[in-house]
């Protein structure tokens, strides 16, 4: 295929610019190749987010799936975490959701999973789908699949609430910023079942993101919800990303509970419910996550960054929970898949049953000082990592699980990890004091500017 946009097939999903990289014909062919790839028989679920082209792309995927003989459940407009629920709870052959997550409005994409919500990524079928589309190599089939419209919202809300004891919930006043993404549609469906007074912010689905980018990892997107919390003396808030699979809690002072602190909170909760269980965390996470797991009687297991790595480790260790510092939190009882809504609900529940403020939880689960992940443009990533390793001969350990992690005698550590798709190295640093953190960051940053 001439000018085939192979670059839209990423490590974990499909993502690209609408029109110049993604179009309905390409998406239709992806549907065909996905149908051929899926190893089990049965229907395939398809949903889409609120972006202007998402419904058309979902229609194209459905056409490709049915052309290859697959029956389809058309779920309509959904949050990404709902596709995993649909596939897992109904024992479907797989699922596809059209979304570009938190990316700006000119982007779109597709996330795929197979039976039991197992992810389809770079090493688990996605590049094979890419190659089949490029070669226009599809199976010959004699039958055409059918399409059935399915509404899974009520079942999804019931599933989310199954992670807590709703009888123990108490009234809270919170703000929820959906960023004009999918969380607005879904959180509104949850509200009748919880005793929370909710200030709804940007609940109207709009894939052009007229108010702010739906990416709570960026502090500038949290300005409005912080203002709302402070001005109205609320108990806290929740900020979602565009497709609703990530959520960040904010406390009553307007401060965000960082990803590592939220992961430690959830790890503590699930280690307590599952004595002796293995709990998964990624290499970027605070070392306090492992300390919390151990103190709660669990077994910490550290893995590479990325949802496919987390999910694989969870399945191998039958872990009840796994977390990434980026705000993706995974649950065994959710088919090892992540959910922003489940994480947020549990976080508010933990505060309630312990009769504490969200700021108390933030302080409890934040022990050390860390920087936000910082990217540096580097052409020869491997050479630069080795240069930095050689520059720190006093490191007490050099760990190459994911990139390189250097740990120092005073307990400080830094991880330098290459991007899979760009000429970038990603830096994470943690220390036991602000002074140690500043010194370490200042020192290592010099090597990125050489």
Q: Is 308 a catalytic residue?
A: no
State the CB neighbour count (10 A cutoff) for residue 390: 8
Decide: residue 135, CB within 10 A, 0-12 exposed, 13-18 middle, 19+ buried.
exposed
d(Cα 373, Cα 259) in Å, to the nearest integer? 11
Angle (nearest 5°) at CA 247 between 242 and 248: 125
Q: DSSP letters of 350-407? A: HHHHTT--HHHHHHHT--SEEPPPEEEE-SSHHHHHHHHHHH-TT-SEEE-SSSEEEE
| Token pair recorded at residue 139 | 């199976």
d(Cα 148, Cα 346) in Å, to the nearest integer? 33
Alpha helices in 45-137 (DSSP H): 54-67, 81-89, 127-135
- CB of 376 within 8 A of CB of 446? no
Cα 278 to Cα 182, 226, 274: the distances in Å are 32, 35, 9
Catalytic residue among 20, 54, 101, 419: 101
Kindly list the catalytic residues.
101
């Amino acid at each position: 295929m001439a000018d085939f946009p192979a670059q839209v097939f990423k490590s974990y999903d499909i993502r690209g610019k609408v029109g110049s990289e993604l179009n309905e014909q390409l998406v239709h062919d992806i549907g065909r190749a996905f149908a051929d790839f899926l190893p089990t028989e049965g229907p395939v679920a398809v949903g889409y987010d609120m972006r202007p082209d998402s419904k058309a792309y979902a229609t194209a995927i459905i056409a490709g799936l049915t052309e290859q003989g697959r029956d389809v459940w058309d779920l309509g407009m959904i949050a990404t975490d709902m596709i995993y629920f649909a596939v897992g709870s109904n024992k479907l052959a797989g699922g596809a959701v059209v979304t570009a997550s938190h990316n700006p409005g000119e982007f779109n994409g597709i996330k795929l999973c197979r039976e039991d919500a197992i992810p389809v990524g770079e090493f688990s079928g996605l590049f094979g789908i890419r190659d089949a589309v490029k070669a226009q190599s599809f199976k010959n089939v004699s039958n055409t699949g059918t399409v059935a419209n399915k509404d899974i919202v009520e079942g999804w809300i019931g599933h989310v609430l199954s992670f807590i004891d709703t009888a123990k919930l108490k009234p809270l006043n919170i703000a929820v910023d959906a960023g004009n993404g999918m969380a607005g549609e879904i959180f509104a469906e949850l509200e009748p079942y919880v005793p929370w007074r909710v200030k709804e912010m940007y609940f109207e689905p709009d894939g052009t993101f007229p108010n702010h980018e739906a990416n709570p990892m960026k502090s500038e997107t949290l300005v409005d919800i912080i203002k709302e919390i402070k001005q109205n003396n609320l108990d806290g808030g929740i900020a979602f990303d565009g497709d609703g699979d990530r959520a960040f809690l904010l406390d009553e002072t307007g401060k965000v509970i960082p990803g590592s602190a939220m992961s430690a909170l959830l790890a503590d909760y699930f280690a307590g419910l599952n004595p002796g269980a293995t709990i998964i965390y990624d290499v970027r996470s605070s070392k306090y996550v492992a300390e919390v797991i151990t103190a709660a009687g669990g077994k910490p297991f550290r893995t590479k960054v990325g949802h496919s790595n987390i999910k694989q480790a969870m399945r191998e260790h039958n872990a009840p929970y796994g977390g990434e510092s980026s705000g993706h939190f995974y649950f065994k009882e959710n088919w090892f898949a992540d959910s922003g809504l489940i994480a947020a609900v549990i976080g508010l529940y933990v505060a309630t049953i312990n009769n504490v403020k969200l700021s108390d939880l933030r302080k409890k689960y934040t022990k050390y000082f860390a920087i936000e992940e910082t990217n540096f443009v580097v052409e020869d990533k491997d050479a630069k990592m080795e240069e930095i390793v050689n520059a720190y001969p006093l490191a007490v350990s050099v760990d190459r699980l994911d990139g390189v992690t250097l740990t120092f005698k005073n307990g400080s550590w830094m991880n330098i990890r290459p991007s899979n798709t760009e000429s970038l190295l990603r830096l994470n640093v943690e220390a036991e004091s602000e002074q140690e953190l500043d010194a370490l960051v200042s020192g290592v940053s010099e090597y990125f500017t050489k």
